[in-house]
Amino acid sequence: MGMSSAYGPAADKGEMIRLIRAAYDLGVTHFDTAEAYGPFVNEELVGEALNPFRHNVTIATKFGFDIDPETGTRRGGANSRPERIKQVADAALRRLRTDTIDLFYQHRVDPGVPIEDVAGAVKELIAAGKVKHFGMSEAAVRTIRRAHAVQPVTAVQSEYSLFYRGPEAELLPALEELGVGFVPFSPLGAGFLTGAIDANTKFDPTDFRNLVPRFSPEARQANMGLVDLVRAVAKRKGATPAQVALAWLLARKPWIVPIPGTTKLRRLEENLGAVHVDLTADDLQQIDAASSNLKLQGARLPAAALSMTGL
């Protein structure tokens, strides 16, 4: 997402193609995009970058926002009408230069369309060979269960990190029961857990974090205790804060697959180094004990965005 939108101006396309291919060379085999990233341009970027080795990787993309297919303009909120889902799938296949989508997520739950109809539409796409697996993003447990009864859900994507632990209460136990994988987005807390952001950091005017309550200067200052905790663990482990934040997620469950994003090769290499950071049971217990004493401030999304999560 960050290569094309949300975190400031889009990065240079050629550089991003080289970065995606470098990720593949370093062992990355799963790539996550969406119709809404851009819109459209991120799917095109991913499709071009991965085309030489398409059959060696899996690609996830998403449907669910009401986007004009001609102009890319957002026309409103959610749109998961079955006919729209099928249109998005066909367009994504063209942009991704592929004959099948490995994982097709509903980006946000559409309150105007029964989830059974959504799951049924994806089931038809799977039967047609256009999609391999069904995913959901930012959905409530009850909604996931209803969808899963129509078409088995392979993965659920929601925000999860040391900076936001909401999924632990209900979502993770339900996914374990159902045998559904979990894909945390913003595993580095939209950059906060790297330690590179403080109360004085200035974001680009187009950066979505300018609108996020927990990224106000006051909230950043109040939440620095969490960064200090991660830094302390990183120092003890001979790692970076980003690597500790990712290693913490990897240590939670074997079916949790975080998806950190970056536009820089050095950050890509740093993130991948997380697989070599071994957090012991004692480390995890100490992190939990210390973090439980912290009172983090600020909502994780603006109110309008939170209202669309279905949570």
Side chain identity at 71, as an amino acid letter? Answer: T
Q: 37, 105, 160, 164: which is the annotated catalytic residue? A: 37
Which residues, at least 6 apart from 182, have a Cβ–Cβ distance to it below 8 Å?
A: 155, 156, 157, 158, 160, 167, 171, 172, 175, 253, 255, 256, 257
Q: Report angle CA 105, 81, 306 to the nearest 5 degrees.
A: 55
Catalytic (active site) residue 37: yes
Instruction: State phi, psi for 224 to the nearest 5 degrees.
Output: -65, -20
Give the residue among 154, 147, 42 at the shortest CA–CA distance from 91. Answer: 42
CA dist 47 to 51, 96, 186, 263, Å? 6, 4, 22, 17
| Structural tokens at position 100 | 């099948």
Q: Active-site residues: which are they?
A: 37
